Amino acid sequence: MSAITVTPGAMRLADWAAIYRGGAPKIGAGAKAAVDAAAQTVDDLIASGRAVYGLNTGFGKLAQTRIADDELATLQERLVLSHAAGVGEALPERIVRLILALKMASLGRGASGVRWTTIEAIQAMLDGDVLPVIPSQGSVGASGDLAPLAHMSAALIGAGEATWKGERMPAADALAKAGLEPVRLGPKEGLALLNGTQTSTALALAGLFEVEAGFKTALVSGAFSVEAAKGSVAPFDKRIHALRGHPGQIAVAAALRDLLDGSAILASHADCEKIQDPYCLRCQPQVMGAVMDLLDQAGTVLEREANAVTDNPLVFTDTGEAISGGNFHAEPVAFAADQIAMAACEIGSICERRVALLTDPAVSGLPAFLTPNPGINSGFMIAHVTAAALVSENKQKAWPASVDSIPTSANQEDHVSMATHGAFRLLKMAENLHCVVGIEAMSAVQGMDFHDGLTSSVRLERARKTLRDKVPALSDDRYFAADIDQARRLVAGGALAVAAGDLPGIA
């Protein structure tokens, strides 16, 4: 794995994407001075004898309870253990790696009051392939992602479960196998570790990257569909899109023009009598451009959040203060997750409409269900039904999470974001989207095969070959699920988009 330097406060979306896709995060040593200064401020506040929330008091509704100095380490440990109350399936390992990297970046800003050795312990877990087992359910997105981050923190102190080189076991055993010792938490450290938006942010970033993969390949599959249906390139004229002015629309129209440039299929029907194409072909720049702008906006918010300090209270070394606020409230992440969910729905929706067009001979002019011998063969009939089913499932999942709230902690935490499950659903939505885009690519290339040996553009022919290397043309019916899975993998892994070359995107 290539090393990705985690520079607190200065990470870009591309950096987080690289970590998500397997890069090894390494905390930048330049953060140490700020971290040490904040830790010293915490020590000074403790020594002053003043009551400071999170340092020497209880938490939440128990904030008025003062804790004795000789019980401060116990306070932090018990906080972690009591909050490790998550349920449900464990988060995927690459999400957990991203959470750990995000937590290092946040703590490394030097406003959380943890010791540098605690950040080094997180780094050591990553280096030793010790990954906390983090349940996917139990966070309402304020006060931070308490339950999932408590499970992360529990593994750090040798409690709960972790994986070591992929094998699940008690966290203490995993640490031992990697030659690591459990951390003994100092004042405020438990609170700093489990308070924050790193789980919801990691999930939303993963959703963004996966949906972006679907977006890029849908530009290719959409161009394939234009070729299969012998559609017009005129609606992609740059003058049309310049008059509206949306940057995503302009970029998508340009991408479609470039993808189709030099196509013999396109040239073969230049003088046809068709006046207009259906919206799913003609309005690709308007729909996919709006999707691109929405994903770009969500990416901007998530890049900012990934660089943020979101625990509480926050330590200010210049004045020697620890001030209680609400940066843990994940409303920005919840909104971004809802935007990504809407984008995933619309990409899938317009792709499914093109599959419906291609499989209907009355509209496409192609053989029924894209099979050379309809009747004895059903061709793409049920592949389209699968796409329709997945699109509808995504619509159901896309109900905004951010509009919901439920009070917790004896009404102290009376408004919450629901960011975590709003972001968690994106993983399944993206998987559904990849299947739909894959089915469109299969359908459209099958349709192109009926055009008497005519070729498309150089770029689309490269992508066509990439698909055909994994999914042969359909003559007679065969077991189709394996083909759809191969196409899904080409979408998720980006192979079709890479073959087509230079497509607009976000990260």
C-alpha neighbours within 13 Å on the C-beta side of residue 260: 27
Tell me the backbone φ, ψ of residue 3, rounded to 5 degrees.
-80, 135
Is residue 53 annotated as part of the catalytic site, yes or no? yes
Short-list 287, 418, 301, CA closest to 345: 287
Query: CA torsion 464→465→469→472, rounded to 10°?
Result: 50
C-alpha neighbours within 13 Å on the C-beta side of residue 88: 13
Residue 158 · residue 433 · CB < 8 Å: no
User: CA-CA distance, 230 to 275, in Å (whole number)?
Assistant: 12
DSSP 86-142: -EEEEPPHHHHHHHHHHHHHHHTTS-S---HHHHHHHHHHHHTTEEE--EEE---SS
User: 26: part of which helix (H) or strand (E)?
Assistant: strand 24-27
* Two structure tokens written together for 160: 């709960």
Tell me the backbone φ, ψ of residue 377, rounded to 5 degrees.
-115, 145
Distances (CA, A) of 41 to 51, 64, 70, 372, 483: 14, 22, 19, 76, 60
Which one of the listed residues 20, 53, 279, 479 is annotated catalytic?
Answer: 53
Short-list 395, 399, 377, CA closest to 387: 395
Residue 152 · residue 100 · CB < 8 Å: yes
Query: CA torsion 199→203→204→209, rounded to 10°?
Result: 140
Centroid of chain to Cα 176 = 32
Residue 186 · residue 40 · CB < 8 Å: no
Helix 198-228, helix 93-107: angle, nearest 10: 130
The single residue listed with the structure tokens 């004898």 is 49
Short-list 405, 429, 414, CA closest to 337: 429
* Two structure tokens written together for 266: 């396109």
The CA-based angle 283-334-189, given to 5 degrees, is 145
Residues marked as catalytic: 53
